[in-house]
């Protein structure tokens, strides 16, 4: 059976969301980030990203990772592309061209937006976004996101979804990066088509179910 390693409050949200969309049966193996523990190496400590057992699955010590009947895979977007293609159906690419486009949009999200957007999410989680300094930081980050968000705005002005005119794994990979910027409303305000697309993605039952589980997760 497919095993998904990680916790919901991590990039594993992408894979849990996809699993929900595909109706995949899986075993969830909770692995918490080592930085959240006082001593990740203490005897009897819970499974974490520095635990030897987990490093045997992902030597980089990051989450998520999967074990699909012996295939160990990490990097969340690669995991999602693999699982979607294995399952087939409308979330997967229908041909080589769509495969290339889904890979492209995933790489675009990871390289052009994720690091900056994540800073907004982290600032919000740490309570800094409500401060004057946090707002100034978010404003500076929003300026860096303006160009890639503008590219996406142009695309979604003429398309409901990222690739192929339908909801696919590419939308999940992209939406989970754009979501990081949501706590700072001015970052998305100039981009109504991008915002409307994100709303469509997050209105899906599988996203809502994943998010409810994330909110209920105990750390």
Residue 150: per-residue pLDDT: 98
Q: What's the rounded Cα separation, in Å, for the pair 15 and 27?
A: 12
Residue 151: per-residue pLDDT: 98
Query: Would residue 40 count as lying in a domain?
Result: yes
Domain final position from 64, 90, 116: 90
Domain final position from 54, 71, 90: 90
Query: Would residue 214 count as lying in a domain?
Result: no
Residues 6+ apart with CB under 8 A from 141: 116, 117, 119, 120, 181, 184, 187
Q: Are residues 109 and 123 in the same domain?
A: yes
Residue 219: per-residue pLDDT: 72
Quote the number of domains for the chain.
Answer: 2
- Dihedral of CA 215/115/205/69: which sign? negative
For 90, half-sphere exposure in the C-beta direction (CA atoms, 13 angstrom radius) is 8
Domain final position from 70, 90, 110: 90
Residue 218: per-residue pLDDT: 81
Question: Which residue segment(s) compose the domain that 167 sits in?
Answer: 96-207
Dihedral angle, C-alpha 16, 17, 18, 19, nearest 10 °: 50
Residue 36: CATH number of its domain: 3.40.30.10
Q: What's the rounded Cα separation, in Å, for the pair 151 and 32?
A: 35
Query: Would residue 60 count as lying in a domain?
Result: yes
Q: Are residues 111 and 155 in the same domain?
A: yes
Query: Would residue 72 count as lying in a domain?
Result: yes
Q: How many CB atoms lie within 10 A of CB 84?
A: 23
Q: Are residues 102 and 202 in the same domain?
A: yes
Residue 112: CATH number of its domain: 1.20.1050.10
* pLDDT digits (tens), the chain, 219 positions: 999 999 999 999 999 999 999 999 999 999 999 999 999 999 999 999 999 999 999 999 999 999 999 999 999 999 999 999 999 999 999 999 999 999 999 999 999 999 999 999 999 999 999 899 999 999 999 999 999 999 999 999 999 999 999 999 999 999 999 999 999 999 999 999 999 999 999 999 999 999 999 999 987
Can you give the pTM of this predicted structure?
Answer: 0.96
């Amino acid at each position: 059976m497919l095993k998904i390693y990680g916790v919901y409050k991590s990039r594993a949200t992408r894979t849990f969301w996809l699993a929900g969309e595909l109706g995949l049966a899986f075993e969830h193996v909770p692995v918490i980030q080592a930085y959240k523990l006082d001593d990740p190496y203490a005897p009897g400590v819970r499974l974490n990203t520095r635990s030897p057992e987990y490093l045997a699955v992902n030597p980089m010590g990051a989450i998520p990772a999967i074990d699909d009947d012996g295939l160990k895979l990490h990097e969340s977007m690669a995991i999602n592309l693999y699982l979607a293609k294995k399952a087939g159906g409308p979330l997967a690419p229908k041909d080589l061209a769509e495969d290339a486009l889904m890979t492209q949009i995933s790489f675009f999200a990871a390289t052009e937006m994720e690091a900056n957007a994540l800073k907004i999410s982290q600032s919000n989680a740490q309570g800094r976004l409500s401060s004057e300094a946090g707002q100034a930081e978010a404003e500076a980050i929003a300026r860096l996101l303006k160009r890639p968000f503008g590219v996406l705005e142009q695309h979604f002005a003429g398309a409901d979804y990222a690739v192929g005119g339908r909801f696919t794994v590419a939308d999940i990979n992209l939406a989970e990066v754009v979501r990081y910027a949501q706590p700072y409303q001015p970052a998305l305000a100039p981009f109504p088509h991008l915002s409307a697309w994100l709303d469509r993605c997050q209105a899906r039952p599988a996203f809502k179910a994943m998010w409810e589980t994330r909110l209920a997760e105990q750390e």
